[in-house]
Amino acid sequence: MNREHMKKTTSRVSTARNDYRCSMERNQSGKYCVRIQVFYPRHAWTLGVFFLASSFDRAMKKLEESLDFLQRHEEKLWFWGVDRAEDMGFSAEFLREAGLKIDHRTEFPRRATNLSVAPERQVPAFVLGPVRRGLAESVESPRSLAAASAAAGD
């Protein structure tokens, strides 16, 4: 095997990326419920979290902060969440300090946006544009459908 081929093979192997699924829905009180499900390939585990926000813009700002937090603290979250599962209370407290709660729901909404980021890297701002559009569409869809069906019923 030549050196160039080894370099390409090595770079492919080390390109593991943290995969995020994000969804946003409005709850009965009108708050935005943002759910994040992240798969960390280095430890082959999945973490689900959520938070509430009062407006779409606040939800997007908090999403950006949350993605940054989840990227920076992957090792600590894994250690306390999986390796030391009996101490899950510590992990929940650690997430709570960042304004996140553990999401125990097993079903994830079908309308979700996805993004992938290399471990321990910041989430690039240009990646958030498509996420913002996708989440805006998912939040607007139910209202748009209701308005369309109400108009059709008139």
Tens-digit pLDDT profile for residues 9-47 = 334 445 789 999 999 999 999 999 999 999 999 888 899
Only one residue has tokens 């997430």, namely 95
Q: Which domain holds residue 48?
A: 16-123
Residue 145 belongs to a domain: no
- 118 located within any domain: yes
Taking only the tens place, the pLDDT of each residue in 73-126 is 988 888 766 555 555 566 778 888 899 998 988 899 888 999 999 998 889 888
Question: If you ran DSSP here, which 8-state letter would residue 99 be given?
Answer: T
**7 lies in some domain:** no
pLDDT value at position 87?
Answer: 55
Q: Considering the domain boundaries, does residue 41 fall inside one?
A: yes
Between 141 and 97, name the one with better pLDDT: 97
CB 74 within 8 A of CB 64: no
Give a yes or no: residue 112 inside a domain: yes
Confidence of residue 6 (pLDDT cuts 50, 70, 90): very low
Q: Name the pTM for this structure.
A: 0.77
3-state secondary structure of 39: strand
Examine residue 45 and state whether it is found in any structural domain, yes or no.
Answer: yes
The tally of domains found in the chain comes to 1
Average pLDDT over residues 50-69: 96
Assigned domain for 130 exists = no
pLDDT band at 61 (very low <50, low <70, confident <90, very high): very high
**How far lies 46's CA from each of 42, 81, 96, 116, in Å?**
11, 10, 18, 14
Instruction: Give domain status of residue 89, yes or no.
Output: yes
